A = this chain, B = another copy of it.
Amino acid sequence: MNTTKRKRLEAKGWKVGNASDFLNLSPEEAAYVEVKLALSKRLQETRRVKNLSQEQLAQLLKSSQSRVAKMEAGDPTVSLDLLVRSLLALGASRKTLARMLA
């Protein structure tokens, strides 16, 4: 079985359990997941604070509701690029992002 594929399947555990313990993630893989999850949480928070539906945010981002849902769920098919660009579109700055990661 393809490693990438396997990871994608296993990764579904991300939001269920806690994290890297029962998956055999290397430290840097774990850190990568941490970063993505931190940002996806912040995205959802920001969206809710602004009282937007996923559909409305999708329009703002010129994306789709399903992709927004996947972003917020930490779906492995969502890139850091997309998360970061979305947060920036919601008004975050480079420094804000830094704070979100800290």
Contacts and interface: CB of A to CB of B under 8 A. Distances in A.
Contacts of A98: 98-102
B101 A35 contact: no
Main secondary structure of the interface of A (DSSP, over half): helix
A36 to B, nearest CB: 9
Contact of A101 (B79, B81, B97): B97
A74 to B, nearest CB: 14
A85 interface: yes
Contacts of A89: 28
A87 to B, nearest CB: 9
Interface of A: 28, 31-32, 34-35, 38, 79-81, 84-85, 88-89, 92-95, 97-102
